[in-house]
Amino acid sequence: MELTWAKVNSFITSDNIALLSVIITVLIFIITRHVEIRYKKHDDKKVQYLKLIELMQKMFSDLKKNKKGEIILSDETKKLFFDTGASLLLYGSKRIYRQYLLFREFSTNPLIKQCKYYKDSLALFIISDILVTMRKEVGLSYFNNIKNNEALAFFVNDISSNPFAKENAMDAKFRIKMIIFELAIIDIARFIFVKQIYISFIKPIFAGLSIVLKYILFIPLDRLIMKLFPQFTKNLQDKHHSS
């Protein structure tokens, strides 16, 4: 025991205490800074999500379609689409951004429109998915969650308590899942993941080797041949020009 206390006393020196206090101060600063950045990102996220809600409100209040049934957007709405997408790319979560892309492409992507489960009205329920996700990400707990039809009730009439609207919301949720699943299967069928691995890892290796060989082997070898056999090189050049 005396030996143990002696070791402790030898460790507790003014230099070690000063070093320990510095380490604790740095750790507190890093943790505090991390929390501040996290709250700043959280506040920025809420601002961008409000911008997305504004886009949805404007889009459905000024909804116009041409003779083919395609949605016509005003220049102001198109600009708002671009600004919102850019904001979500920088500040939104991966899930929200992908839901936004699905919403934006829903009526224009030919693969989606050819799907068996596609319906024009599903775009409204993609919005409800986005609204429910935003509620979770701004800090509301899982137990404070709402259903998709309830998320739409603040700008769609007779949808929160109507039994038929609830059935439509459940059917839409199923259809959206099947559309996303079919798109994933198309990716698999076209070997998108394998192609991505090839382009990301294998192709750069061969391309890099060809560049290395070009400047380390082929170009120096060509210059060496030109010096050793100038007449042969001249004849090849003349033949090339004449042809």
> What digits encode the pLDDT tens for the residues 115-142?
999 988 888 888 888 888 888 877 766 5
pTM of the model: 0.68
104 in Cβ contact with 126 (< 8 Å): no
Q: What is the average pLDDT across 84-102?
A: 86
Q: Tell me the per-residue pLDDT of 36-68, one tens digit each, with 9 for 90 and over.
A: 666 666 677 777 788 888 877 777 666 666 666
Measured between alpha carbons, how far apart are the two ends of the chain, in Å?
98
Question: What is the C-alpha to C-alpha distance for residues 86 and 198, in angstroms, rounded to an integer?
Answer: 29
Residues 6 or more apart whose Cβ sits within 8 Å of residue 124: 152, 156, 172
3-state secondary structure of 26: helix
Q: Is the pLDDT of residue 10 over 70?
A: no
For the chain, give every domain's residue range.
1-92, 109-190, 209-242
